[in-house]
């Protein structure tokens, strides 16, 4: 009995089959996400140190509207769950359903970014921009970095929807969708930290 030629080639050349390649890429992307978490840890540490230095300006209690933030939180959470449904549809090979759920994910994510943009806009208009105090500098940096991540995630969703529509659910497209799902779910997990540490702890 000789092993199949393909596996010998793979062992010699180091090339992987589509299944191992997809798993390896998902793990590689996971490692990037871990480094991204370290970035957020640095921003959380900065906020924890500077978050009470108001320089005589407004505090979190003056600026944050918790019902508004609760709405933002629900949008991002539903959008995260909707991406899960897109992945489930993908596992069953339902291209149209994948596109529908990606569209739902996108609209909810866009609404989240729009609400955050609106919040920043009003803060800056009222003279409570990042230059007002160390608290507001660290607030805009932390929350803005998360918002930028979500905005890039939205761009990525558009690209992937295009690939699903025009290329179909091929192995490479599925593998990319898988990595996008890791990115999107992790952004919701980071938001749990943001709304707890920044908004809730800023008001109590």
Partner 1 sequence: VPTPPVSGSDADKGSLKSYAAGFIFSVGLTTVAFALVLQGGALSRRTVLFGILAAAVAQVLVQLRCFLHLGTGASARWNLLTLVFTLLIMLLFVGGTLWIMSDLNARMM
Confirm or reject binding of residue 49 to partner 1 (CB under 8 A): yes
Coil, helix or strand at residue 169:
coil
Residue 181: count of CB within 10 angstroms of its CB? 19
Confirm or reject binding of residue 192 to partner 1 (CB under 8 A): yes
Work out which of 58, 60, 73, 137 binds partner 1, going by CB under 8 A: 73
Confirm or reject binding of residue 104 to partner 1 (CB under 8 A): no
Confirm or reject binding of residue 16 to partner 1 (CB under 8 A): no
- Residue 140's alpha-carbon distances to 13, 14, 44, in angstroms, are 49, 46, 12
Work out which of 100, 110, 115, 178 binds partner 1, going by CB under 8 A: 178
Nearest to 108 by CA among 128, 82, 133: 82
Closer Cβ to partner 1, 162 or 168, answer by number:
168
Confirm or reject binding of residue 114 to partner 1 (CB under 8 A): no
Report the alpha-carbon distance of residue 117 to residue 47 in Å, rounded: 20
Closer Cβ to partner 1, 29 or 124, answer by number:
29
Report the alpha-carbon distance of residue 198 to residue 192 in Å, rounded: 10
Spell out the residues 6+ positions from residue 76 whose beta carbon is closer than 8 angstroms to its own: 108, 109, 112, 150, 187, 188, 191
Closer Cβ to partner 1, 17 or 127, answer by number:
17
Closer Cβ to partner 1, 84 or 130, answer by number:
84
Work out which of 11, 48, 55, 155 binds partner 1, going by CB under 8 A: 48
Work out which of 75, 102, 142, 186 binds partner 1, going by CB under 8 A: 186
Closer Cβ to partner 1, 11 or 91, answer by number:
91
Binding site for partner 1 (CB under 8 A): 18-19, 22-23, 26-27, 30-31, 34, 37-38, 41-42, 44-46, 48-49, 66-67, 69-70, 73-74, 77-78, 80-81, 84-85, 87-88, 90-93, 168-171, 174-175, 177-178, 181-182, 185-186, 188-189, 192-193, 195-196, 200-201, 203-204
């Amino acid at each position: 009995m000789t092993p199949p030629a393909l596996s010998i080639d793979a062992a010699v050349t180091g090339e992987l089959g589509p299944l191992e390649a997809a798993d390896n890429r998902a793990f590689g992307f996971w490692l990037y996400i871990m480094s991204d978490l370290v970035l957020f840890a640095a921003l959380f540490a900065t906020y924890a140190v500077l978050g009470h230095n108001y320089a005589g300006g407004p505090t979190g209690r003056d600026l944050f509207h918790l019902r508004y933030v609760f709405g933002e939180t629900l949008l991002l959470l539903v959008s995260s769950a909707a991406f899960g449904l897109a992945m489930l549809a993908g596992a069953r090979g339902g291209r149209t359903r994948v596109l529908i759920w990606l569209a739902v994910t996108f609209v909810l994510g866009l609404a989240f970014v729009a609400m955050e943009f609106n919040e920043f806009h009003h803060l800056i208009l009222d003279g409570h921009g990042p230059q007002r105090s160390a608290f507001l500098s660290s607030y805009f940096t932390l929350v803005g970095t998360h918002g930028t991540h979500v905005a890039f995630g939205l761009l990525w969703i558009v690209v992937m929807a295009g690939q699903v529509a025009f290329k179909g659910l091929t192995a490479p497209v599925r593998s990319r969708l898988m990595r996008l799902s890791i990115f999107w779910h992790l952004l919701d997990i980071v938001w749990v930290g943001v709304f707890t540490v920044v908004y809730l702890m800023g008001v109590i």
